[in-house]
Amino acid sequence: MPSTYTPHLVSDLPFQLPPEAARRLASALDVEGKILRGLEALGPVAGRDVLLVDAAGSAIAAGLERVGARVVHADLGSPFGADATGESMDVIIGLWSLFRGVRPEDLEAADRILRPDGRLLVVHDYGRDDVSRINPDREELGAWTRRNGPFLRAGFRVRVLHCFWTFESQDAATDFLGSAFGEAGAAVAATLKRPRLSYNVAIYHRTRGGVAPPQG
């Protein structure tokens, strides 16, 4: 990754990038819409009260509104929204920036806001894919996925979605990866046989109180 750049919202994307690179990645990431469908399967979210943390303006925010979710936005600085009252939300969703690890006080705050049987859904990268080769040392690609990792210890289950970064051509993929991620991106681009990267996404999901249904 370039050594100097203007950070983009981490909640929109799994990497911090300059604005133009962030726009290009946003247009390539999960064009099949698997992340939104995964959130619906694990929520559900359609027609429900959803607290979306640190992701106003994101593609997921737009998708939630399209399926009729009643979305309330919260800043990351106060993860679950100072204005959210007790037992007022059916689902809380965080995308990449929320729960960089799991703190008991954050789980308690989520449980306070969720209604009975409410759902906490946290999206992170899972790894074991093309994208993880760009920066393989991130904690979410290893420790977080293990049985003794912070999420599974805290009563979460995990659903892994097999997504893609899809570009319009091989040249476009090569140009983006090299310009956005430097030598590491160029090395990954050189191994691609078609203009897309495999991208595995984890949705860590937990019912209020730590009881997860037998799925995922």
Q: Write out the residue range of the structural domain in which residue 132 sits.
A: 19-35+83-208
In a domain, 141, yes or no: yes
pLDDT at 79: 57
In a domain, 102, yes or no: yes
In a domain, 189, yes or no: yes
In a domain, 169, yes or no: yes
DSSP annotation of 99: -
pLDDT at 80: 64
Per-residue pLDDT of the chain (216 residues; tens, 9 = 90+): 333 323 334 466 899 899 999 999 999 999 999 999 999 999 999 999 999 998 988 999 999 999 999 999 988 876 566 556 778 999 999 999 888 888 888 898 899 999 999 999 999 999 999 999 999 998 899 889 998 999 999 999 999 999 999 999 999 999 999 999 999 999 999 999 999 999 999 999 999 988 544 444
In a domain, 1, yes or no: no
pLDDT at 209: 87
Six token digits for residue 7: 């950070």
DSSP assignments along 143-210, one per residue: GGGSTTSHHHHTT-EEEEEEEEEE-SSHHHHHHHHHHHHHHHHHHHHTT-SSSEEEEEEEEEEEEGGG
In a domain, 65, yes or no: no
pLDDT at 87: 82
In a domain, 49, yes or no: no
- CA 128/CA 108 separation, integer angstroms: 32
* Structural domains of the chain, count: 1
